[in-house]
A = this chain, B = another copy of it.
Amino acid sequence: MKNIKVSNNVIRRLPRYLRKLDELQYNGVQRVSSAELGSYMGFTSSQIRQDFSHFGEFGQQGYGYSVGLLRNQIATILGMDRNHKAILVGTGNIGRALMDNFCFSEWGIDLIAAFDVDEDMIGIKRNGVEIYDAATLFDFMAGHHVDIAVLAVPSDVARQVADNLIALEIRAIWNFTNVDITEPHSNVIVENMHFSDSLMALNYYVSEKDDSMVCAREVGGV
């Protein structure tokens, strides 16, 4: 199926809908209204209807959405049926956490190999995925179709390793290094898991609450 073009904000919400619909399906729920789904997720029902209107009509007035149909449609839009191939580069704590605990196949991604420079790691299989010598990455990429590199190397070598992957024509990088690895207008798709950005946003909201508590006290509140 051809992919449907939707806005970035909608794309960011689709995985959340998917998780919620999976949960509903797991609990045996077959139909859900936009109002119900909205209340579960903190959205208005009109926002839900607007989001889903991007990819065809699934809801019926007074009847709601079919949980299964809607779930499968969202999974298709997210490309979960395309079996994209991924490799993991770097098997430190983060890399190992991904190998051991993150079920790539559940999300339609095929993790086919991992790479490290650490001789103690090379040759080990974790969760069915073998860790190869990073020196063999070039040959591996020449012999295999790889869509996504999961980058989990130490931050001081992140850019260099990313440049190597880009030279090997990697299509996309899932970046766990907390370093911005590409120029803004690069052709490579980069999705960042910047832990510090997330923590700093959290810290801002905590600070905002500090201040609102001070204000409340100042005006004689709690």
Contacts and interface: CB of A to CB of B under 8 A. Distances in A.
Contact of A208 (B5, B200, B201, B207): B5
Contacts of A184: 39-42
A124 interface: no
A93 interface: yes
Interface of A: 2-3, 5, 11-12, 14-16, 18-20, 39-42, 77-80, 82, 84, 92-94, 96-98, 100-102, 104, 106-109, 147-148, 154, 171-172, 174, 180, 184-185, 189, 191, 193-211, 214
Contacts of A196: 15, 19, 102, 106-107
11 contacts: A12-B197, A15-B200, A19-B196, A79-B207, A82-B206, A94-B101, A104-B199, A106-B196, A171-B206, A191-B198, A191-B205
This chain's copy number in the assembly: 2
A172 B206 contact: yes
Q: Is the interface of A mostly helix, strand, loop or mixed?
A: helix
A203 B80 contact: yes
> Considering the complex of A and B, which 10 residue pairs feature the smallest CB-CB distances, nearest first?
A42-B184, A79-B207, A93-B97, A191-B202, A15-B197, A15-B200, A94-B97, A79-B203, A189-B205, A78-B200
A16 B204 CA distance: 14
A209 B101 contact: no
B171 A189 contact: no
A214 B96 CA distance: 35
